[in-house]
Amino acid sequence: MAVTQHIDTTGAQAGADMAALTAERESHGWKWLLSLPALTILVFAASGPLLIVLIYSVLTPAEYGGVVWELSGRAWFQVFFRRDIFDPDEVTLNWSHLSVLWRSVSLAFQTTVICAILGFPTAWFISTRPPGQREIWLLLITIPFWTNLVIRTFAIQEVIRNQGVINSLLMNLNIIHSPIQMMYTDFAILVGMAYVFLPLMVLPVFAAMDKLDTRLLEAGYDLYASRWEVLRRIVFPLVRPGFIAGSILVFIPSIGSYVTPRLLGGGRNMMLSNLIELQFGQGRNWPLGAALALTLLVIVLVALVFYLRTIGGDEDKQHG
């Protein structure tokens, strides 16, 4: 009798579990149906244009812009190589494109380093303020985002141009006798991008520092650790995910920046985005522009993969 009762109880429990599983599956089905409009928009608004760019990159450029619907790998070849005008059989590296690619990666990396150097003490200062003051400082950090990017870039021009704030101040103090040429250089682009993207570094680092347990710092000092040792062995490892997230948020828009290099570089010191615009505009070589755009996308994807692998490694170490 007891065995029969146990079997009936087990069967009832199994039936209840199956019913709960079926209800959960139906619930997930409804959730997918509810998200279908958003997924449709995402596919057509994001994947659709990307597919067009991919197709254009393997087509033949038309004579006055546009494309000829004939498959060709010429655009991808021109991204990295070039043929001699007088001897088509002679192939050399396309140093003009490679220099632009190197400048883009280099300036984006330097911008990330500068933002990290300036963002860490800024985030530390904000996180150590009383709770009532933190919101004010965070508001001051985010205020630049309320202004158009072009306006902010013109503001940087007023600071570093020949008759700008810096040169005028140095000349009034008799430190220099003629203006320092800062406009239309890599330095101007670097200053502009560091100013524009600095908040993207400060906010993730602050979010990581805000969760920091200050008792760990006190424990480090109690164990006779110096400030540098506490910073290196306690603070840095705990805020590292914020640093990595901020670095990605700065590096990706920096390498694809268009407005800041266009206005502060003057068209002479181009970055990859400016070169892409040039091919779709004056160059009338749409396949080459599409191939360059996909090259930029590949660089961004590599940065994202690095970020995901690094964050995943940190989480595995914490759980381990």
Give the phi and the psi of residue 128 in degrees, each rounded to 5.
-95, 0
Q: How confident is the model at residue 231 (pLDDT cuts 50, 70, 90)?
A: confident
Q: What tokens were used for 15?
A: 């039936």
Is the Cβ–Cβ distance between 300 and 256 less than 8 Å? yes
- DSSP string covering 263-297: HHSTTTS--HHHHHHHHHTTS--HHHHHHHHHHHH
Cα 316 to chain center, whole Å?
24
User: Domain map of the chain by residue range?
Assistant: 2-44, 94-319
pLDDT interval class at 304 (50, 70, 90): confident
**Cα–Cα distance measured from residue 11 to residue 98, given in angstroms and rounded to the nearest whole number:** 69
Cα separation, 280 vs 28, in Å, equals 44
Residue pair 176/170 in contact by the 8 Å Cβ criterion: yes
8 A C-beta contact, residue 252 and residue 206: no
Mean pLDDT calculated for residue range 295-320? 75
The mean predicted confidence, pLDDT, of the chain is: 85
261-292: pLDDT as tens digits: 999 988 778 899 999 999 998 889 999 999 99
Given this model, what pLDDT does residue 305 score? Answer: 87
pTM tops 0.95, yes or no: no
- Alpha-carbon distance 231 to 235, whole Å? 5
pLDDT at position 155 over 80:
yes
Is residue 279 within 8 A of residue 286, CB to CB? The reply is yes
Tell me the DSSP string of 150-169.
Answer: HHHHHHHHHHHSTTSHHHHH
Assess whether pLDDT exceeds 90 at residue 79.
yes
Sign of the C-alpha dihedral, residues 147, 149, 154, 155?
A: positive
- Taking residues 216-245, report their average pLDDT: 86
The reported pLDDT for the residue numbered 39 is 80
User: Is the predicted pLDDT of residue 54 greater than 70, yes or no?
Assistant: yes
Pick the CATH number of 94-319 from 3.30.43.10, 1.20.140.10, 1.10.3720.10, 1.10.150.310: 1.10.3720.10
- The residue with greater pLDDT, 215 or 29, is 215
Q: Which two tokens stand for residue 80?
A: 């990295």
Region 115-134: mean pLDDT is 91
For residue 54, what are its two tokens?
Answer: 């991919």
Q: Is residue 127 helix, strand or coil?
A: helix
Tens digits of residue pLDDT in 7-35: 445 555 555 555 555 555 555 556 677 77
SS3 label, residue 83:
strand
Report residue 278 as tokens.
């040039």
Asked if 295 contacts 79 with a C-beta cutoff of 8 angstroms, the reply is yes
